[in-house]
A and B are shown apart, each in its own frame.
Chain A
Amino acid sequence: MRFIDEYRDSELARGLVEHIHRRSKRSLRLMEFCGGHTVTIFRYGLRQLLPPTLQMLSGPGCPVCVTANADLDKIIALARTPGVILATFGDLLKVPGSTSSLQQARAEGGDVRIVYSTLDALLLARENPDRAVVFAGIGFETTAPTVAASVLQAKKEGIDNYKVISVHKTTPPVLRALVGSGEVRVDGLICPGHVSAIIGSRPYAFLPREYGIGCAVAGFEPVDILQAVAMLVDQLEAGEPRVDIAYRRGVRPEGNTIALGMIEEVFAPGPADWRGIGVIPDSGLRLRDERFDAERAFAIEPGPTREPAGCICGDILRAVKTPLDCRLFRRVCTPEYPVGPCMVSSEGTCATYYHYGQDGPEAEEPCGQPARGAADE
């Protein structure tokens, strides 16, 4: 398939790996922000190819993982509300809130529908005029414009039973919070490719300017990521951190101005609660038009939030710890019996470590066994 196969080419990958090995002298800590990048890195075993000078950290770029329990609880409560069809991407179905999950709400009679697109959610709203169709608006800037487009379409067609609960989040504010806290030393950042297709590469300019952190926007194929690592090594070895784009076929410096305009038209910036990080001002997107805002249309009372005991998802999302530092990882917390969202989301750091092995499969013990043990108990 074009624009996929070329970027999985083993010769190109080998060339980039050799380049990285030759150029990398200093010890550097590179973080991939995006969970999609984490998956590619593990699926292709890319860490095995990098020199020991480079330490890779996984960041908080998994929208499901960073959604706070309080927000998850609201979505689950909506799914249990009579007369509501809750439309969601599949990603969210299994994620546990304080006491339940959408999967559980569905099993108990909630009408939860998995959709591929907000277009499908709109279709549900047209087909069920007597019921409210609530779309669970989750995701970063990549997804937000598609939700904005659906709201504008609903407005245009007068589909008043279409509602959105927005827990959308934006990336530059969380990057600033993460880096500004000084908790984790990061020398270079692999910036999210598809978020950048929307916002462009300019919003990262503060990272080299204020913090001396190098940036490279990357696509999601192994060659894309290796190219980004090569660019970061080149920048940082030369002592010239800047924002490079290793994904020029999909990302322009100015981003997608039409999409940005739609986000601006439909949403207003507001505070958002990030799991493990806390409330960050102006990092959320609230619906401007209350007619489409599910939170204002329904009086949702999800009950008190609870955080799972012993779970260190928050620390893992801040890259302060890895799943291997977690007492629960593999022993209690498995994809079948997830304690925290980083295990349940397929791109969560814990799930990725679990499914693909952390540093190559030769390094550790079989992972299937504890899961079955837990199932038997």
Chain B
Amino acid sequence: MCLAIPAKITAIEGTEATVDIGGVTRSTSLVLTPEAKVGDYVLMHTGYAISVVDEDEAKETMRIIEEMMALDEAR
């Protein structure tokens, strides 16, 4: 399954972060993503952040999808 979910970092102490998912909080290890900062969203898998969510890329994806839709409508 490789279940990983976007969780927001609310605090960092050493390599341990506290993350928030809809008000649920737990600790998450940042050893795999030491670049993560407070306020970042990370993909959390089994208590480890495996990737920092790139907000610009997320926006870009939305733009690409909307462009796909707009192109279709223009036809």
Are A and B in contact, CB atoms below 8 Å, in the complex? yes
Chain A contact residues, CB within 8 Å of chain B:
1-4, 6, 12, 15-16, 18-19, 22, 34-36, 39, 62-63, 89, 91, 116-120, 139-140, 142-143, 145-146, 149, 192-195, 197-198, 223, 227, 230, 246, 248-252, 256, 258-259, 262, 346-347
A87 to chain B, nearest CB (A): 12
A121 to chain B, nearest CB (A): 10
In chain B, positions 45-75 with a C-beta closer than 8 Å to chain A are 45-48, 50-51, 53-55, 57-58, 60-62, 64-66, 68-69, 71-72, 75
Which interface residue of A18, A120, A246, A248 has the most chain B CB atoms within 10 A? A248
- Inter-subunit contact A3/B45 (CB<8 Å): no
Q: Which residues of A contact B61 (CB under 8 A)?
A: 227, 246, 248-249
- Inter-subunit contact B22/A36 (CB<8 Å): no
Interface string of B14-39 (1 = CB under 8 A from A): 00000001100001010111100000
Do most interface residues of chain B lie in helix, strand or loop, or is the interface mixed? mixed
20 contacts between A and B (CB under 8 A): A2-B8, A3-B41, A6-B58, A16-B69, A36-B3, A62-B1, A63-B1, A117-B29, A117-B48, A118-B46, A149-B29, A194-B2, A194-B45, A195-B2, A227-B61, A227-B64, A248-B61, A249-B54, A256-B50, A259-B50
State which size class the interface on B falls in. 35 or more
Q: Which residues of A contact B34 (CB under 8 A)?
A: 258
Q: Which residue of chain A lies nearest to B35 when distances are taken between CB atoms in the complex?
A: A258
A118 to B53 alpha-carbon distance, docked (Å): 23
A353 to B44 alpha-carbon distance, docked (Å): 28
- Inter-subunit contact B65/A227 (CB<8 Å): yes
Q: Which residue of chain A lies nearest to B5 when distances are taken between CB atoms in the complex?
A: A4
A189 to chain B, nearest CB (A): 16
B10 to chain A, nearest CB (A): 13
- Inter-subunit contact B6/A2 (CB<8 Å): yes
A19 to B66 alpha-carbon distance, docked (Å): 11
Known: A1-B21, A194-B2, A194-B45. Contact between A258 and B72, CB under 8 A? Answer: no
Q: Which residues of B contact A2 (CB under 8 A)?
A: 6, 8, 41
Q: Is B12 an interface residue (CB 8 A)?
A: no
Contact of A146 among B47, B53, B64 (CB under 8 A): B47
Q: Which residues of B contact A16 (CB under 8 A)?
A: 65, 68-69
A34 to B3 alpha-carbon distance, docked (Å): 11
Q: Which residue of chain B lies nearest to A248 when distances are taken between CB atoms in the complex?
A: B57
Q: Which residues of A contact B4 (CB under 8 A)?
A: 142, 194, 197, 250
Count how many pairs of residues, one from A and one from B, have CB atoms less than 8 Å apart in the complex: 132
B56 to chain A, nearest CB (A): 9
- Inter-subunit contact A19/B69 (CB<8 Å): yes
Chain B contact residues, CB within 8 Å of chain A:
1-6, 8, 21-22, 27, 29, 31-34, 41, 43, 45-48, 50-51, 53-55, 57-58, 60-62, 64-66, 68-69, 71-72, 75
Q: Which residues of A contact B68 (CB under 8 A)?
A: 15-16, 19, 230
- Inter-subunit contact A256/B33 (CB<8 Å): yes
- Inter-subunit contact A198/B50 (CB<8 Å): yes
Q: Which residue of chain A lies nearest to B62 when distances are taken between CB atoms in the complex?
A: A6
A163 to B8 alpha-carbon distance, docked (Å): 32
Q: Which residues of B contact A145 (CB under 8 A)?
A: 32, 48, 50
Known: A116-B46, A117-B48, A146-B32. Contact between A249 and B2, CB under 8 A? Answer: no
Contact of B1 among A22, A35, A251 (CB under 8 A): A35
Which interface residue of A22, A250, A251, A347 has the most chain B CB atoms within 10 A? A250
A166 to B1 alpha-carbon distance, docked (Å): 17
Contact of B72 among A3, A18, A198, A259 (CB under 8 A): A18
Known: A194-B4, A197-B4. Contact between A15 and B50, CB under 8 A? Answer: no
Q: Which residues of A contact B22 (CB under 8 A)?
A: 1
- Inter-subunit contact A15/B69 (CB<8 Å): yes
B16 to chain A, nearest CB (A): 9
A248 to B45 alpha-carbon distance, docked (Å): 17
Q: Which residue of chain B lies nearest to A347 when distances are taken between CB atoms in the complex?
A: B1
Q: Which residues of A contact B48 (CB under 8 A)?
A: 117, 119, 145-146, 149
Q: Which residues of B contact A3 (CB under 8 A)?
A: 6, 41, 53, 58
